[in-house]
A and B are shown apart, each in its own frame.
Chain A
Amino acid sequence: MSNIEFEGTKQQMSELKKCIKAHKGEKGALMPVLHEAQNIYGYLPSEVQTVIADELNIPLAEVYGVATFYSQFSLQPKGKHKISICLGTACYVKGSDKVLEAVEHELRIRCGECTPDKKFSIESCRCVGACGLAPVMIIDGEVYGKLSPADVKGILDKYMQD
């Protein structure tokens, strides 16, 4: 579980409860609820999992089991700017591992980590389907394609400033 303290607002909690209510009684409600909870909080801290377990009447162990099984669910908070580097086959063959190394080198963190100032986090993903642009990197939903390691610094600099 995360060592960063949970800072949820009342509004987030009421949104969460509303979403749980909407799915309650539906078959297989846990997955859609976890998706929406992650949209609300950005990650799935134990406090949120506990609420989901209580409200859906599912053991916390099961909620935790599902949340940790799927790679898209994160128990760690993400940085302000989320960097995702595609390590799918098409990108890998075109050298996306070198791009990842350049990003890690530039931010001085490893893939899966968040910078100490919580500004950037890096993750790898498996194929976003933009194989025509391989290798690709996605920052906050913006896709950067046909990259070389040398392009990385210039792109990151844009995000450093704010």
Chain B
Amino acid sequence: MTVKELKKIAAEKADLINVRRIVREQAEKLALNTGYRKQVLVCGGTGCTSSHSLQVIEQLEKSFAELGIDDVLIVKTGCFGLCALGPIMIVYPEGAFYSQMTPEHAKTVAEKHLVKGGQIVKELLYAETVHDDGSVIPFAEIPFYKHQMRIALRNCGVIAAESIEEAIAAGDYSALAKVLFEMTPDEVIAELKAAGLRGRGGAGFPTGLKWQFTKEAKGDKKYVCCNADEGDPGAFMDRSVLEGDPHTVLEAMTIAGYTVGAQEGYIYVRAEYPIAVERLNIAIEQARKYGLLGKNILGSGFNFDIHVRLGAGAFVCGEETALMASIEGHRGEPRPRPPFSAQCGLFKKPTVLNNVETWASVAPILLKGSAWFASIGTEKSKGTKVFALGGKIHNVGLVEVPMGTPLKTIVYDIGGGIPNNKLFKAAQTGGPSGGCIPAEFIDIGMDFDNLVAIGSMMGSGGLIVMDEDTCMVDIAKFYLEFTADESCGKCVPCRIGTKRLLEILNKICDGNGEPEDLEKIKEIADHMKSSSLCALGQSAPNPILSAMEHFGDEYKAHIYEKKCPAGVCKSLLNYYIEPDKCRGCTLCARNCPASAITGTVKSVHEIDAKKCIKCGQCIAHCRFNAIVKK
């Protein structure tokens, strides 16, 4: 393929994509050019397919055949971001946002809305897109989307995830064409440096500098690697990019290959992401077929190809040296640095490794210019960051906001606040390597340096919201269980340190904590931070240290008063039935797996504390809120 042919595909399909980027009147006019009266976009990401979005597509196809609809295009896209409402379906040109679709709903929408002269089925729309007066607003104007700015996710939920032509029409590969014919490798590096792009995988190392080190390294062969081993539990932005816009990653890796002088690339992706792996493989096959990977790319004489390697469930493989060991077919254990990967990486050759979200940010910078990118964000953190919002929050999903956006905006405006009128207690960022942001810092601007300053870190962008019912000792214990389990065991401080810290936390949660335990935690943490081999061990104590700093009283309550203020730690609380609330319905007694509840119909029931296993079944079944734990 030549650049001219690439531009031809982009031009032919441009209107098809543009209908989805603008809404209402203009889009309706544009739609006339495309040959399709309407377009139905259905999310085919992991979240929505888990709640059966593929059956929604099947039903649409079936209904279209029955109703004789042949001028409406069905598009299976990547993630729209608002995963809590899945499966999501958007109809253009109106921009009508249907949520929590079922095959039956799809049938109704096909019969009432998608047929010629049909009208939007308001009852099935996401409620926030319908005004009180009954008028429908395009989904882009609701708070969840209004405050976002999508760069890395620009094509996710916009293009058909398995169509290279739609990807090209949306702009993929045009940065590659520009770089191959109009820019020198040094100019690419200068542009990335001027943009201020920092690695999105966690550490925030300047991307341009990384590429420069690899370019300057001497070696007969060099490699480009993509870290798609998204191990931080609760973070899923990399998966969404791979599922929704895999070509942007291939394009950026090829650009890096041209820049540093590499001809081969590897993508190391979690095996837990089957849809992402499948779409990547499809995308690579397509790119080879279109001459965008392989020999003589776009007729430039430059050769580059990409292989996919699957992980096998080891968190430590997100660390760069461990990741490379795993690609080489070894145990995924890290090694001491130096030498750094830029000089001695994969197969002992100079290697540049970036995270998926970083790769997804490269092409827009080279197309729109470094000044544009550098104008977004804060002084030292440029551009946007994707956060995976999870935990006790209404709008669970993926959001991309300019760096420096206040946490409050993310939690309340975009996230829709905390369910059940509970209070915001803290947000955990950076997963098992990060820390918590307590309520007093809710106005903090989310960027690399601000988060480090309060003892947390950006990490890969997991953002778990916790309410008043979350115990901060229990959460720290959860993360320690994770790191103790995932420690590769190669170095002593991490292998033994995580274990000892976990033992102390278990002791505290079991009601056997002693005052000196807090000092012991700090001492072990110091040793782990200063002497562990890789970031896993160095950062493993962060969740405890930050929880101890911001929620010291909660730790003290566990140790001195043997109480868990949030009512989570089982050994420190008992279940009681409040006599004035109990109506004697017997539901709790019938559902108690331990037969610990006694009482007859219409009489107040009682829990035998000795038999009670504190499973919470009784609370789940009681209709009168009569059961409390304290």
Using CB atoms and an 8 Å cutoff, list the residues of chain A in contact with chain B. Answer: 27-32, 34-35, 62, 65-66, 69-73, 87-90, 92-94, 98, 101-102, 105, 125-134, 136, 143, 145, 148-150
Contacts and interface: CB of A to CB of B under 8 A. Distances in A.
Contacts of A126: 231, 233, 272, 313, 315, 482
Contacts, number: 145
B272 A65 contact: no
A65 B388 CA distance: 34
A29 B329 contact: yes
A69 to B, nearest CB: 4
B296 interface: no
A145 B50 contact: yes
Contact of A131 (B231, B234, B327, B330): B234
Interface stretch (B109-117, B143-151, B520-528, B615-623): B615-623
B286 interface: no
B416 to A, nearest CB: 13
B392 A93 contact: yes
B557 interface: no
Contact of A90 (B309, B313, B391): B391
A12 B617 CA distance: 45
Interface residues of B, number: 58
Contact of B616 (A62, A90, A98, A131): A98
B234 A132 contact: no
Contact of A129 (B46, B328, B475): B46
Nearest to A34: B312
Contacts of A71: 312-314
A89 B233 contact: yes
Interface stretch (B16-24, B205-213, B462-470, B496-504): B462-470
15 contacts: A28-B328, A31-B310, A35-B271, A71-B314, A73-B312, A89-B233, A89-B462, A89-B464, A94-B391, A94-B392, A105-B615, A126-B315, A130-B46, A149-B616, A150-B620
B51 interface: yes
Interface centre among B347, B464, B475 (most CB of A within 10 A): B464
A70 B464 contact: no
Interface centre among A65, A69, A125, A136 (most CB of B within 10 A): A69
Contacts of B347: 27
B615 A134 contact: no
B233 A127 contact: yes
Nearest to A66: B331
A130 B312 CA distance: 19
Interface centre among B312, B331, B332, B478 (most CB of A within 10 A): B312
Contacts of A69: 314, 331-333, 488
Given A66-B330, A93-B475, A130-B83, 10 more contacts: A31-B327, A35-B271, A62-B330, A70-B332, A89-B479, A90-B234, A93-B466, A102-B615, A131-B388, A132-B85
A62 B46 CA distance: 34
A76 B397 CA distance: 35
A89 B235 CA distance: 9
Nearest to A150: B620
B431 interface: yes
A93 B391 contact: yes
A128 B392 CA distance: 18
Contacts of B428: 89
Contacts of A72: 271-272, 311-313
A100 to B, nearest CB: 11
B390 interface: yes
B534 to A, nearest CB: 15
A21 B47 CA distance: 37
Contacts of A127: 232-236, 272
